[in-house]
Amino acid sequence: MNYCFVDYRILPVEEKKLRSLNVDIIKVPRCENLYSAIDGHPDIQLNILDNNTVLVQKDMSANFIDELKSTGVTQVFSDKSLSSKYPEDIILNAVNLKDTFIHNIKFTDKMLLKYTINKKLINVTQGYTKCSCAVVSDKAIMTSDIKIYNELISKDFDVLLLPPGHIHLPGLNYGFIGGTCGLISEKELVFYGNLKNYKYGELVLRFLNKHQVKPIFLSDTPLVDRGSLMFFSA
According to the model, what pLDDT value does residue 174 have?
95
Nearest to 35 by CA among 76, 78, 90, 102: 90
The alpha carbon torsion through 68, 74, 79, 80 (nearest 10 deg) reads -10
Residues 63-111 have pLDDT tens digits of 999 999 999 999 999 999 999 999 999 999 999 999 999 999 999 999 9
Q: What is the C-alpha separation between 127 and 151, in angstroms, rounded?
A: 14
Residues 151-188 have pLDDT tens digits of 999 999 999 999 999 999 999 999 999 999 999 999 99
Residues 25-70 have pLDDT tens digits of 999 999 999 999 999 999 999 999 997 999 999 999 999 999 999 9
**Rounded mean pLDDT, 187-213:** 98
Burial of 99 (0-12, 13-18, 19+ CB in 10 A): exposed
Residues 100-154 have pLDDT tens digits of 999 999 999 999 999 999 999 999 999 999 999 999 999 999 999 999 999 999 9
According to the model, what pLDDT value does residue 51 have?
79
Nearest to 37 by CA among 131, 127, 170: 170
Tell me which H or E stretch contains 13.
helix 12-20
Three-state secondary-structure class, residue 96: strand
Q: Mention every residue, 6+ apart, whose C-beta is less than 8 A from residue 100.
A: 119, 120, 121, 122, 138, 155
pTM for the predicted model, two decimal places? 0.97
> CB neighbours (10 Å) of residue 33?
16
Amino acid at 2: N
> CB neighbours (10 Å) of residue 179?
30
Tell me which H or E stretch contains 74.
strand 74-77
Q: What is the C-alpha separation between 174 and 160, in angstroms, rounded?
A: 19
Residues 9-20 have pLDDT tens digits of 999 999 999 999
According to the model, what pLDDT value does residue 234 have?
87
According to the model, what pLDDT value does residue 68 have?
96
According to the model, what pLDDT value does residue 125 have?
97
Domain 2-233 grouped into CATH 3.75.10.10: yes
> What are the domain boundaries of the chain?
2-233
